[in-house]
Chains A and B, each alone.
Chain A
Amino acid sequence: MAKLAKTPTGIEGFDEITEGGLPTGRPSLVCGGAGCGKTLFAISFLVHGATRFDEPGVFMSFEESTDELAQNVASLGFDLPGLIQKKKIALDHVRIDRSEIEETGDYDLEGLFIRLGYAIDSIGARRVVLDTIESLFSGLSSESILRAELRRLFRWLKDKGVTALITGERGEGTLTRQGLEEYVSDAVILLDHRVTDEISTRRLRIVKYRGSAHGTNEYPFLIDEDGIAVLPVTTLGLGHAVSSERISTGVARLDTMLGGEGYFRGSTILVSGTAGSGKSSLAAHFVDATCRRGERALAFLFEESPAQVMRNMRSIGIDLQPWVDRGLLEFHAARPSAFGLEMHLSRMHRAIDRFSPSVVVLDPVSSLLGVSAAADVHGTLMRLVDYLKGAGITALMTSLSHGKTEQERTDTAISSIVDNWLLLVTLESSGERNRGLYVLKARGMSHSNQIREFLLTDHGVELIDVYAGAAGVLTGSARLSQEAEEQAAALVQEQELERRQRALARLKTTFEAELAALRAKFETEQAELASGIIQQQARAARLKEDRREMARSRRADAGNGGDRPPRKDDAKVKER
C-alpha cells in the first residue's frame, strides 16, 4: 500500500513529528482554547504553502475580518495583501449576524460551498483553511441542517482534493464545542496554552493521525516574531554517532588532567560548583578556545547579561568581544523565569538551529530549577542533550550548587546525562577560601583523579598541584606556608648534614694525625727494641768472650770451655 501522501506545513518541527505534514487532500482539525494559536497555525500553513511550496491557499475566516487578519499576521512578516494581489492567497471573510437573519423553512449551505469553490478555482488553491467554522452554529439556528451540511462540506473538500485545515474552539470535555472531530477523522491536532506557576507554556499534541505514525507526546511550541515553531522533543534516542576527536578545554592543565587532550567533540560537560567557584570562567576559556579554532560558539546566559559576562571575563584576561564582532560567538540572555522550561528549550533549539555552533554553553542550568520541578528539568535537559549530541555539538553546562541538598538536586537532575563532570569546590581552611577542581567523571578517557588548585589570575585560569601530604590537602596560603615550612625543614636538614660532614672531616683529620703520632711512637719503639736486641746480643757475645777469657785465664781444659758438664766447683761459682 502506498504511503499516505503528506503536505508540508512549513511549520518548524511540526513536519518532523508528523513525518511530513498534514494528510494531502484531506481535512485536518486543529483545536484548542482561546488564544492558543489556532489561527496563527492555520495562516502559517497557508502562507508557507504559497511562498515555499507553490501551493496557493484559501483562507475563509468566520471571525476576523480580512483587514484584521492581515494586520495580525504582518507582525510575523507575512505579507497577506501582497500574496492576495499575486493570487497566491484568497481571503474570504464570512460574516454571520444572527440578528439580521430570519429563517423560514428549509435551506442548505450551498452558498458557502459556492463561495469556497469560487475562491479555490480563482487561484487554483491546493490548501484551504476554515477558521473557525463553528461560528456557523451561533449564526444559524438549525443544528440538524448545519451538521448535515458540515458532513457534506468535509466530503466535498476531500472530493476537491484540497488539503484543508479546520480550526475549532475547545469545548467542555470535548475537543471542540460542536464536536467537529466527528467529521474530521483524518488528523486532529490539539493546541494548549497552559499556565503553571505563573509561567505559560504552549503545547501541541497530535490526538489522531489516521494511517500515519506520529509522535504522541505533548510538544512545546512557541510563537514569536518568526512564527510558530514546534519542538520535536526526544525521539532522537541514543543512536547518535560519536566522535573520537578531542577539543581543548582552553586550559592546558585541564587538558592534561583529561588524558592530555581535552573533551571529546560532541560530548556534554557539566561544571558544577558553589557560588564564585569559577564555573563561568572555565566556560569562558572553553568558548575562547573554540573561537580561536575558528569555530562558532553559542552561549545561553540565565543570570548575567552578555556585557556583564564580557566585562568579567576581561578581568581574567579573556577578551570575548573580538569573537562577537567576527560573528563566531553569540549570546542569548534570558531570565529563567521569563518563560517556562519548554519555552526555554524551544528558544534554545531554535537559536542552535539558526547559528549552528560547534559549542554550546549554558550558564547556569541550575537556575532553570527555579522554574520547574527537578524531574521536568531533567527531562528538558535530556532532550536538549540528545539534540546536541545528535548534531555533534559539544555542550558545557554550569550548575550552581548552594549547599549540600541543592547540589544533590542538581546532580541527580543532570549528572546521569553528562559525559564529563568537573566539580569546583571551595576549600576552606585557616581563614581563607581557595578553589579546587576535581574531575568527577570523564566517560571514555583516562583522567586524573587528583584535586588541583584552581587559580583565577589576570591571565586566566591556572591549575596547580595542591599540597597533599601528611597534614591533608592544603591550598592557598596554607599550601604556601606548608611549602615554605618544608623548604625550611629541608634547609635545616641540609645544613645539619653539612655540619656533620664537616665534623666527620675534622674527625678524619684528627684520626689521621693521631694515627701518624701512634705510628711514629710505634716506629720509635720498634727502633728502640731493635737496638736493644742488638745491644743484648752484643752483651751476650761479650759475656761469652769474657767467660772464655776467664777460662783461659784459669787454664781450664780446652774442651771444658763454656760447654763442659757442670762440676762441683761450678756450683760454688754460682753461689758467689
Chain B
Amino acid sequence: MEVAEERPSASPPPIVHAGEAQILRLYIAGQTPRSVAAFANLKRICEEHLAGRYRIEVIDLVQNPQLAAGDQILAVPTLVRRLPEPVRRIIGDLSNAERVLVGLDVRPAR
C-alpha cells in the first residue's frame, strides 16, 4: 500500500502519452448504487479513451477497512491514479467524463 505522496506542485501536469499504462484504483464502500454507477462510468471512460492502456482495481472498504488510511481515502467513491505519478484522486460517481479525463491528465484542464 506504499504510495508516493509528495509531488512538486510547481511541475506542469504531464499529459499521458500513448502506451503509458494507467493503474487505477477505485475505492468503494459496498455495492451501493453510487459505487455501481462509478464503476460503470469509469469502465466506459477508460474503454473510450484509454483502451488497452489501463488497469482497474476495485477496493471495497467495507471488506478491507484497513486500506482506507493508506491511500488517504475520505470520500467514497474515490478513484486513485497511482501510476503514472503524480498521484491523482478523483472523487464522486465519475458521472462527468470530461472532468475525469482532466483529472487523469488525459486532457488538459480548460
Query: Does any Cβ of A come within 8 Å of B5's Cβ?
Result: yes
A463-509 with Cβ < 8 A to chain B: none
B27-60 with Cβ < 8 A to chain A: 27, 29, 34, 38, 41
Known contacts: A102-B103, A106-B34, A114-B65. The answer to whether A94 contacts B74 by CB under 8 A is yes
Residues from chain B with a CB closer than 8 A to the CB of A102 are: 88-91, 99-100, 102-103
Given contact pairs A92-B69, A111-B74, A118-B66, a sample of 10 additional A-B residue pairs in the complex whose CB atoms are under 8 Å apart: A102-B102, A104-B103, A105-B93, A105-B94, A107-B93, A109-B74, A112-B75, A114-B29, A114-B61, A139-B74
Query: Does any Cβ of A come within 8 Å of B22's Cβ?
Result: no
Query: Does any Cβ of B come within 8 Å of A140's Cβ?
Result: yes
B74 A104 Cβ-Cβ under 8 A: no
* Contact residue among B61, B62, B65, B96 (Cβ-Cβ distance under 8 Å from A104): B96
A110 B95 Cβ-Cβ under 8 A: no
In the complex the two chains form, what is the Cα distance from A109 to B78 in whole Å? 10
Residue among A99, A103, A117 with the highest chain B CB neighbour number at 10 A: A103
B92 A104 Cβ-Cβ under 8 A: yes
A104 B29 Cβ-Cβ under 8 A: no
Residues from chain B with a CB closer than 8 A to the CB of A103 are: 90-92, 99
B91 A99 Cβ-Cβ under 8 A: no
B75 A140 Cβ-Cβ under 8 A: yes
Query: Does any Cβ of B come within 8 Å of A563's Cβ?
Result: no
A104 B66 Cβ-Cβ under 8 A: no
14 examples of A-B residue contacts, CB within 8 angstroms: A99-B9, A100-B7, A100-B88, A102-B89, A104-B90, A104-B94, A104-B103, A105-B38, A106-B93, A107-B34, A109-B76, A112-B74, A117-B65, A118-B69
In the complex the two chains form, what is the Cα distance from A144 to B75 in whole Å? 14
CB-CB nearest 5 A-B residue pairs: A102-B103, A105-B92, A105-B95, A118-B65, A111-B73
Task: Mark interface residues in B69-110 (1 if CB within 8 Å of A CB, else 0).
Answer: 100111111100000001111111111100110110000000
Residues from chain B with a CB closer than 8 A to the CB of A112 are: 74-75
In the complex the two chains form, what is the Cα distance from A115 to B29 in whole Å? 11
Task: Mark interface residues in A80-112 (1 if CB within 8 Å of B CB, else 0).
Answer: 000000000000101110011111111111111
Query: Does any Cβ of A come within 8 Å of B68's Cβ?
Result: yes
* Contact residue among B5, B76, B90 (Cβ-Cβ distance under 8 Å from A110): B76
Known contacts: A114-B29, A117-B65, A118-B65. The answer to whether A104 contacts B76 by CB under 8 A is no
> How big is the A interface, by class?
20 to 34
A136 B86 Cβ-Cβ under 8 A: no
Known contacts: A102-B99, A106-B34. The answer to whether A95 contacts B65 by CB under 8 A is no
Q: Chain A's nearest CB lies how many Å from the CB of B62? A: 7
* B interface residues, Cβ below 8 angstroms from A: 5, 7, 9, 27, 29, 34, 38, 41, 61-62, 65-66, 68-69, 72-78, 86-96, 99-100, 102-103
Q: Chain A's nearest CB lies how many Å from the CB of B101? A: 10
Known contacts: A100-B88, A102-B91, A114-B62. The answer to whether A107 contacts B9 by CB under 8 A is no
* Contact residue among B74, B76, B89, B99 (Cβ-Cβ distance under 8 Å from A100): B89
In the complex the two chains form, what is the Cα distance from A105 to B96 in whole Å? 6
B77 A107 Cβ-Cβ under 8 A: yes
A118 B7 Cβ-Cβ under 8 A: no
Residues from chain A with a CB closer than 8 A to the CB of B73 are: 111, 114-115
* A interface residues, Cβ below 8 angstroms from B: 92, 94-96, 99-112, 114-115, 117-119, 136, 139-140
Residues from chain A with a CB closer than 8 A to the CB of B92 are: 103-107
Q: Chain A's nearest CB lies how many Å from the CB of B13? A: 10
For A115, give the chain B residue with the smallest CB separation.
Answer: B68
For B33, give the chain A residue with the smallest CB separation.
Answer: A106
For B93, give the chain A residue with the smallest CB separation.
Answer: A105
A111 B5 Cβ-Cβ under 8 A: no
For B88, give the chain A residue with the smallest CB separation.
Answer: A100
For B28, give the chain A residue with the smallest CB separation.
Answer: A110
Residues from chain A with a CB closer than 8 A to the CB of B102 are: 102
For B94, give the chain A residue with the smallest CB separation.
Answer: A104
For B90, give the chain A residue with the smallest CB separation.
Answer: A102
Q: Chain A's nearest CB lies how many Å from the CB of B100? A: 5
Q: Chain A's nearest CB lies how many Å from the CB of B65? A: 4
In the complex the two chains form, what is the Cα distance from A139 to B72 in whole Å? 12
Residues from chain B with a CB closer than 8 A to the CB of A111 are: 27, 29, 61, 68, 73-76, 78
Q: Chain B's nearest CB lies how many Å from the CB of A397? A: 56
Known contacts: A95-B5, A99-B9, A114-B61. The answer to whether A107 contacts B88 by CB under 8 A is no
B69 A115 Cβ-Cβ under 8 A: yes
A104 B75 Cβ-Cβ under 8 A: no
B61 A101 Cβ-Cβ under 8 A: no
In the complex the two chains form, what is the Cα distance from A313 to B88 in whole Å? 73
In the complex the two chains form, what is the Cα distance from A102 to B90 in whole Å? 4
Residues from chain A with a CB closer than 8 A to the CB of B65 are: 114-115, 117-118
For A140, give the chain B residue with the smallest CB separation.
Answer: B75
Known contacts: A102-B103, A114-B68. The answer to whether A108 contacts B75 by CB under 8 A is yes
A107 B75 Cβ-Cβ under 8 A: yes
Residues from chain B with a CB closer than 8 A to the CB of A115 are: 65, 68-69, 73-74
B29 A110 Cβ-Cβ under 8 A: yes
In the complex the two chains form, what is the Cα distance from A108 to B33 in whole Å? 12
For B71, give the chain A residue with the smallest CB separation.
Answer: A111
For B65, give the chain A residue with the smallest CB separation.
Answer: A118
A110 B61 Cβ-Cβ under 8 A: yes
In the complex the two chains form, what is the Cα distance from A110 to B93 in whole Å? 13
A109 B93 Cβ-Cβ under 8 A: no
For B7, give the chain A residue with the smallest CB separation.
Answer: A100
Residues from chain B with a CB closer than 8 A to the CB of A110 are: 29, 61, 75-76
B91 A104 Cβ-Cβ under 8 A: yes
Q: Chain A's nearest CB lies how many Å from the CB of B96? A: 4
A108 B9 Cβ-Cβ under 8 A: no
Residues from chain A with a CB closer than 8 A to the CB of B77 are: 107
Known contacts: A95-B5, A110-B29, A140-B75. The answer to whether A101 contacts B69 by CB under 8 A is no
